[in-house]
A = this chain, B = another copy of it.
């Protein structure tokens, strides 16, 4: 049953994407330009992302807090790279309580300034360090073109901001948090992302360096999904965040920040979903199993209830669809909403002692005995689906991964099929700019540990310094 509300993915990928977002009721447009309403089905995915990441952050010693939404202009202006980076895309509050304000306040596009301002008065000695704070909140960036989840003026995210007594510790934190994002993508979202360092041109405004987690969508377009920044003492010197070190000397703290956003929901969709709607890896699916009773009988009802209770008792989120819709409608709804496993408990099947179990990812259906150990069966199936989804995404990524040895290669690849393009680079900004002329292709990240694939820069032919992955991005 192809969903008629969904354009085919291979016909028009952009339209397919927004069709899936709307058909699965993940988000919708609003009367507020560039801002979406995250609907319950979409928000439930975000809640599960929050739960899993938050638990991990806390295990690593981080604590949550909440800084203000608004930043006074003079505070923002203290770090010049940050201002220059964000000035074009901030929104300003200029009136409050029926009065024009003496000073404009911007809605936070990110909160380095506010954390610095807080830390400044709360850190004195090396004994107060490290301070490992995180916040879950909304931020605003005045984007021109927007797309649900991928790019919207307001979005939800977590931003970790930590300060440390030594550069070494802060660098370790920067790496560690990127490992968390990579783990989250690979193990939970079943997305085989790649991790590397941003070039000078692409790094975060004000960072010493930026690590990035890059995912590749089904259509070969890249999506930046999680960054971790090492600031060294750049912000702490601009905002005067000092501490007394072990040698009893004043020193500026060493700082990091790292964040992931609701944009990951967009990534999930564009890696795994299909023409029938949403497909979710079991570990991130808010609802993992739907049980659909077909035909009315005591046996149908009691078996459905038994299955549900047994699954729920083992922390598998299962529910019975007892609504008044037809079975066919329920199947389609479970499908479009991406419920990983569907159990059909049919009156007629039960006469033959069977039930039907369907997996969403492959849409395969099997008949199994109705006295199956449902917990064991479903647990295995969910694991299999998770693994299979990762492997299919990995295969897809590999099939969209190319090598370029000169600019012609690059052009030919990008004109045929975009993807991750591996190529060597001399390190010059001009060469980066040159690549960008081809369909806006940017450096995704530098792979510091990867082997050389050429001695020469893909653009200028001079000595190559870095193995870089390039791609067109969302």
Contacts and interface: CB of A to CB of B under 8 A. Distances in A.
Contacts of A72: 31-32
A23 to B, nearest CB: 14
Nearest to A87: B98
Given A92-B93, A137-B138, A40 B63 contact: yes
Contacts of A171: none
Given A30-B118, A31-B72, A93 B96 contact: no
Contacts of A105: 32, 91
Interface in A93-115: 93-98, 104-105, 107, 114
A70 B37 contact: no
B65 A43 contact: yes
A88 B98 contact: yes
Contacts of A40: 63-65, 133
A140 interface: yes
Contact of A154 (B64, B69, B91, B104): B69
**Interface size class of chain A, counting residues whose CB lies under 8 Å from the partner chain:** 35 or more
B107 A68 contact: no
A70 B156 contact: no
Contacts of A472: none
Q: Tell me the interface secondary structure of chain A in the complex.
A: mixed
Interface string A120-159: 0110000000000100011010101000000001101000
B94 A95 contact: yes
A117 interface: yes
A253 B414 CA distance: 52
A118 B37 contact: yes
Contacts of A64: 40, 43-44, 47
B97 A89 contact: yes
A52 interface: no
Contacts of A36: 68
A14 interface: no
Interface in A453-472: none
Contacts of A67: 30, 37
Which interface residue of A35, A91, A142 has the most chain B CB atoms within 10 A? A91
Which interface residue of A42, A44, A65, A154 has the most chain B CB atoms within 10 A? A65
Interface string A26-63: 00101110011111101110110000000000000001
Contacts of A88: 97-98
A280 interface: no
B32 A142 contact: no
A352 interface: no
18 contacts: A31-B117, A32-B72, A35-B69, A35-B70, A39-B65, A40-B64, A42-B65, A43-B63, A43-B66, A44-B64, A68-B154, A69-B138, A87-B98, A91-B97, A94-B94, A96-B142, A96-B153, A138-B138
